[in-house]
Each structure stands twice: as structure tokens, then as C-alpha cells.
């Protein structure tokens, strides 16, 4: 199993550009989520999904869109990039059951917006 | 908003010493998790403790949970240079969810 994969690893955008960060998992997990990590701020939840076709907002959703058309994929779209979105983005997945709370994280995408 | 907060923010010790980091949280929880993050990598799950447990061990890791004080501690015994990383506690989001919230983390440096 590849686990959770994210592409690209690094990306530089100009202000106003749009892009999609890809996330995929091959563990048949129902729950998937996107976090951003900034120095001194820890991980903040952007959006999450509890299954195909179901998404919800986290703590910092503004400027981001998500969709979940399959169990495996959960892309994050930046609509119009801003310098405040410079961050490291992590995708995570889990079974979403009381028998297993463990989150599996991808390697991250480091995004710089100039 | 963040439910759990780690303390201290940074910890520097010598190889062979024990490292203790703490997590305090605000509302009642049914589980608490600890994760490790090596520099530039994704988080890796270390251990989960449920609200009906007081202590749990995994190798050189010992986790305690005090629900009356709303706090948890992670002890790493006989630290190694390879334990250098950031450590995060994760608690269920307010309102209940399988998507946890994470604290800001404790940065541990173990000097060889």
C-alpha cells in the first residue's frame, strides 16, 4: 500500500493564480481531511470529508474548495492564491471508527505564494 | 479552535535522558492521541489513550491521562538522537468528531 500520497511536493504560485493540490489514499478510509501548518500555529483544519459526496468546513476554509467524488481522492483547490496561503499542506485519512481513531498523513505539499 | 495545548514549546536534552511533554485540553474527551513529526515530514501516529485508561505503554513511550485535570503527558525514556522531532497531542473536535484537532506541538531536540 502506498498509504496517503500528495502531489506536488513543492509549488510556487503568483498571487491570483489557482491550483489544485492532489491527495489520494489506498486504504479504503472513509474520512479524509486537509490541514495547513504554519510556524507557531500547529495544524489547522481546512476542510474534511466523512465519505464520498460529503464534505464540510474546518477552522480555516476561506479561499479553499474541496470535493470528494471517490473514496480514494480528496483534492484541495485554491481559487485565487494569496500570500497568506503560503504554508505546508497536509492531507490525512482515517477509518472514522471508535475502533480506530488513528490519522494517516501524507508527506505534505510546500506552497509559496508570491 | 485548538482543543489541546502542549507544554513546553521546546525541550532540549542529552541522549539517554528522559523527555516529558504535557498536553492540556479544555472539554471532556473520549480519547487522546500523540503524534510525532520529523522535520519536513508528515505526522506519524504514536499512541492513543482512551478516557477509561490512566496509563499506556508502547516501547519507550509512556502516556498518562488525567481526565479530572484534563491533561496528558508523554514520557520518552532513554532518549536517542533519532527522537529529535516535534510531538503533538490530538483531541476530538468540540462537538465530537473522528477528525481531531492538534496542538501547536513540543519541539524536542536530543543531543548526541
- DSSP string computed for A32-60: EEEEEEETTTEEEEEEEEEETTEEEE-S-
User: Is residue B2's pLDDT more than 70?
Assistant: no
A contact test, residue of B99, B102, B103, B107 with most A CBs within 10 A = B99
* DSSP-derived 3-state class of residue B83: helix
Average pLDDT over residues A12-28: 97
Mean pLDDT for chain B? 93
Q: What is the pLDDT of residue A14?
A: 98
Taking contacts as CB-CB distances below 8 angstroms, the residues of chain A near B102 are 35, 42-43
Percent of chain B beyond pLDDT 90? Answer: 82
pLDDT confidence band for A25 (50 / 70 / 90): very high
Q: How many angstroms away from the CA of B31 is the closest CA of chain A? A: 9
User: Is residue B1's pLDDT more than 60?
Assistant: no
pLDDT confidence band for A110 (50 / 70 / 90): very high
Chain segment B48-103, per-residue pLDDT in tens: 999 999 999 999 999 999 999 999 999 999 999 999 999 999 999 876 678 899 98
Residue A108 to residue B41, Cβ atoms within 8 A? yes
Taking contacts as CB-CB distances below 8 angstroms, the residues of chain B near A48 are 99
CA distance B4 to B53: 18
Q: What is the pLDDT of residue B31?
A: 92
Chain segment A46-97, per-residue pLDDT in tens: 999 999 999 999 999 999 999 999 999 999 999 999 999 999 999 999 998 8
Q: What is the pLDDT of residue A39?
A: 87
Report the chain A residue with the minimal C-alpha distance to residue B39. A107
Q: What is the pLDDT of residue B95?
A: 66
User: Is residue B32's pLDDT more than 90?
Assistant: yes
Report the chain B residue with the minimal C-alpha distance to residue A38. B104
Q: How many CB atoms lie within 10 A of CB B44?
A: 14
Cell for B98?
A: 473522528
Q: How many angstroms away from the CA of B45 is the closest CA of chain A? A: 7
Residue B48 to residue A45, Cβ atoms within 8 A? no
CA distance A19 to A25: 20
Name the DSSP letter for residue B93.
Answer: P
Amino acid at each position: 500500500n502506498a498509504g496517503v500520497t500528495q502531489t506536488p511536493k513543492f509549488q510556487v504560485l503568483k498571487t491570483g493564480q489557482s491550483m489544485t493540490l492532489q491527495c489520494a489514499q489506498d486504504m479504503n478510509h472513509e474520512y479524509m481531511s486537509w490541514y495547513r501548518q504554519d510556524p507557531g500555529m500547529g495544524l489547522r483544519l481546512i476542510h474534511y470529508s466523512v465519505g464520498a459526496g460529503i464534505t464540510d468546513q474546518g477552522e480555516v476554509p476561506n479561499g479553499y474548495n474541496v470535493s470528494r467524488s471517490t473514496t480514494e481522492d480528496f483534492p484541495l483547490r485554491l481559487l485565487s492564491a494569496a500570500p497568506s496561503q503560503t504554508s505546508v499542506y497536509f492531507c490525512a485519512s482515517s477509518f472514522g471508527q471508535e475502533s480506530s481513531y488513528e490519522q494517516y498523513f501524507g508527506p505534505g505539499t510546500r506552497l509559496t505564494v508570491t | 479552535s485548538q482543543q489541546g495545548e502542549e507544554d513546553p514549546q521546546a525541550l532540549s536534552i542529552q541522549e539517554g535522558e528522559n523527555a516529558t511533554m504535557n498536553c492540556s485540553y479544555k472539554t471532556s474527551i473520549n480519547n487522546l492521541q500523540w503524534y510525532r513529526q520529523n522535520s519536513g515530514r508528515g505526522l506519524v501516529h504514536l499512541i492513543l489513550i482512551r478516557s477509561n485508561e490512566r496509563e499506556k505503554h508502547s516501547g519507550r513511550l509512556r502516556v498518562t491521562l488525567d481526565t479530572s485535570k484534563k491533561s496528558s503527558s508523554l514520557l520518552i525514556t532513554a532518549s536517542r538522537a533519532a527522537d529529535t522531532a516535534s510531538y503533538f497531542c490530538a483531541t476530538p473536535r468540540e462537538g465530537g468528531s473522528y477528525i481531531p484537532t492538534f496542538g501547536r506541538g513540543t519541539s524536542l531536540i536530543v543531543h548526541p
